[in-house]
């Protein structure tokens, strides 16, 4: 595929022609725009809302990042690169800190998905970790009361990202590199045009490019017909509760990110509390009720009392005496692939189109490395990053 910057026939023809168009400037799209622009490509990013916004998958102040990946050990090399790129982005950005290494404790039965999966990844990739019994967990972190028979897998390198700030940092880096990022500009149709693509926006404007990157999150099914992958969009509830007693005991350094296997193989998780945070955050990592992506914006899909009560009950069970009144709650979207793994690669029919979707509720931590992979796919026609196991082709036929 042609790709690359500065193809002769596109030179000097004005702002309707780009090397690469990126649809969706959210978690993955903002990173793709940044990496593409840094490599000299002329980039157009189309975002239907603002950058960032609260109608998709990237709001809520915190996203966990960890390396001993219980979901599958093949993610670990990508995570190592993601860490490097987040560190570089934070240095380059010079704005507010958005990457916190706080350590992470994962609680569950020894043979459960989370503890045994984390151990498997850590051993296969030589990652530093500690395995604690329940008593050791409580001595190290007196805030926790592990369940009967639970072990605690502790990973020093775990922490969290502030997604809104991370997206702003990628968008700023993209703009510094000359990318045009348009907000409030939805793509409404696209098609192949010769070896490139042509897209049309809701404003009625057409743009052409050598390559198109789809990073549309929950809207991906609508955007990428012919992908051959069923993506299920679900509604997820998150809540913050007023910390009881000394707020300092939940600060980064004294309190880690945590994950408990409450609904095997899924579980509840939470974060340390930063100054200015609404409180102790808790949510369930498990696909929720199916909904259409636009519903989050239009219909009153506010969290229900029973859902909030359940989240409070989880805190009462595993962090007894820590959670007071509800201080905030909202909903957010997961885009689930059939096997819970990401869908990243070339479009099965169109070599000039790449996709990154189906992040199944665990994609944010990878956004930095996905940006690099998407730039490789668009400009070089392939990537040396080990993303082969995520290709959309695995669902075809
Ligand atoms: C409650 C919750 C908790 C999570 N916790 C974690 C966690 O702890 N750790 C972790 O790693 N991950 C976590 N995730 C998952 C992670 O946030 C997502 O996997 C990630 O944000 C998905 O990124 P995306 O770029 O695919 O989607 P988004 O960031 O939503 O970006 C897609 C963008 O495309 C735009 N778009 C769509 N259609 C169009 C169009 N036609 N024209 C123009 N623009 C368009 C959208 O407006 C949106 O901005 C969580 C998700 C949720 C909901």
**Domain of residue 385, CATH code:** 3.50.50.60
Give the max Cα distance, the chain. 68
Closest CA to 199 of 21, 370, 8, 32: 21
Distance 27 CA to ligand 1 centre (A): 6
pLDDT for the residue 30: 99
pLDDT for the residue 293: 80
Q: How many beta carbons lie within 10 A of that of residue 198, not counting itself?
A: 17
- Residues 214, 239 within the same domain: no
pLDDT for the residue 222: 86
| H or E segment to which residue 198 belongs | strand 196-201
The per-residue pLDDT for range 277-334, each reduced to its tens digit, is 999 999 999 999 999 887 766 655 789 999 999 999 999 999 999 999 999 999 999 9
How far apart, in Å, are the Cα atoms of 86 and each of 57, 145, 169?
Answer: 19, 32, 10
Closest residue CA from atom 27 of ligand 1: 217
pLDDT for the residue 233: 95
- Both tokens assigned to 280: 């102790």
Residues 26 and 63 sit within 8 Å (Cβ to Cβ): no
End-of-domain residue from the set 311, 336, 361: 336
pLDDT for the residue 190: 96
- Domain extent, residue 385, equals 17-57+164-230+339-395
- Residues 378, 260 within the same domain: no
Total count of domains within the chain: 2
- Residues 292, 331 within the same domain: yes
Which residues on adjacent β-strands are paired with residue 22?
45, 213
Distance 140 CA to ligand 1 centre (A): 34
Radius of gyration of the chain (CA): 21
Closest CA to 67 of 114, 131, 118: 118
pLDDT for the residue 94: 83
pLDDT for the residue 347: 94
Contacts of residue 72, defined as CB under 8 A and 6 or more positions apart, other chains included, come to 117, 121, 341, 389
End-of-domain residue from the set 336, 371, 387: 336
pLDDT for the residue 298: 62
Closest residue CA from atom 49 of ligand 1: 26
* Nearest atom (ligand 1) to Cα of 30: 25
In a domain, 198, yes or no: yes
**Mean pLDDT in the chain?**
93
pLDDT for the residue 300: 55
Distance 58 CA to ligand 1 centre (A): 5
Contacts of residue 337, defined as CB under 8 A and 6 or more positions apart, other chains included, come to 229, 230, 231, 343, 357, 358, 360, 395
In a domain, 191, yes or no: yes
* Nearest atom (ligand 1) to Cα of 362: 12
In a domain, 76, yes or no: no
In a domain, 295, yes or no: yes
Residues of the chain with pLDDT below 50 are 1-14
In a domain, 213, yes or no: yes
- Residues 237, 216 within the same domain: no
Q: Which residues line ligand 1 (CB under 6 A)?
A: 23-24, 26-29, 46-49, 56-58, 60, 63-64, 186-187, 215-217, 219, 223, 236, 238, 283, 332-334, 357, 359, 361-365
pTM: 0.95
- Residues 345, 301 within the same domain: no
In a domain, 12, yes or no: no
In a domain, 255, yes or no: yes
Between CA 272 and CA 198 the distance in angstroms is: 45
Which residues on adjacent β-strands are paired with residue 345?
355
């Amino acid at each position: 595929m042609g790709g690359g910057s500065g193809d002769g026939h596109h030179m000097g023809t004005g702002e309707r022609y780009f090397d690469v168009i990126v649809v969706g400037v959210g978690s993955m799209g903002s990173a793709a725009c940044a990496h593409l622009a840094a490599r000299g490509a002329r980039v157009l990013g189309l975002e239907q809302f603002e950058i960032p916004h609260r109608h998709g998958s990237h709001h809520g102040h915190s996203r966990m990042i960890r390396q001993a990946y219980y979901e599958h050990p093949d993610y670990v090399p990508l995570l190592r690169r993601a860490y490097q790129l987040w560190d570089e982005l934070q240095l380059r950005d010079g704005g507010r800190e958005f990457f916190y290494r706080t350590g992470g404790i994962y609680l569950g039965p020894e043979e459960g998905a989370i503890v045994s999966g984390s151990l498997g990844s850590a051993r296969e990739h030589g990652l530093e970790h500690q395995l604690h019994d329940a008593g050791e967990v409580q001595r190290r972190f007196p805030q926790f009361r592990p369940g009967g028979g639970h072990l605690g897998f502790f990973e020093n390198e775990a922490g969290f990202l502030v997604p809104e700030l991370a997206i702003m940092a990628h968008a700023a880096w993209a703009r510094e590199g000359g990318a045009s990022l348009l907000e409030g500009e939805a793509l409404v149709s696209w098609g192949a045009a010769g070896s490139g693509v042509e897209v049309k926006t809701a404003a009625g404007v057409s743009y052409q490019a050598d390559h198109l990157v789809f990073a549309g999150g929950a809207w991906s099914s609508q955007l990428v017909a012919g992908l051959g992958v069923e993506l299920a969009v679900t509604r997820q509830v998150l809540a913050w509760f007023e910390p009881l007693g000394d707020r300092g005991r939940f600060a980064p350094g004294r309190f880690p990110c945590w994950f408990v296997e409450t609904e095997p193989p899924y579980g509840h998780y939470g974060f340390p509390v930063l100054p200015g945070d609404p409180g102790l955050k808790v949510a369930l990592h498990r696909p929720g009720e199916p909904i259409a992506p636009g519903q989050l914006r239009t219909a009153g899909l506010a969290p229900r009392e029973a859902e909030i009560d359940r989240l409070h009950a989880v805190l009462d069970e595993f962090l007894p005496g820590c959670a007071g009144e509800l201080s905030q709650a909202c909903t957010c979207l997961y885009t689930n692939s059939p096997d819970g793994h990401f869908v990243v690669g070339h479009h099965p029919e169109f070599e000039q189109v790449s996709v990154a979707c189906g992040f199944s509720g665990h994609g944010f931590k990878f956004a930095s490395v996905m940006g690099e992979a998407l730039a490789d796919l668009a400009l070089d026609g392939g990537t040396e990053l080990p993303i082969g196991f995520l290709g959309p082709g695995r669902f075809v036929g």
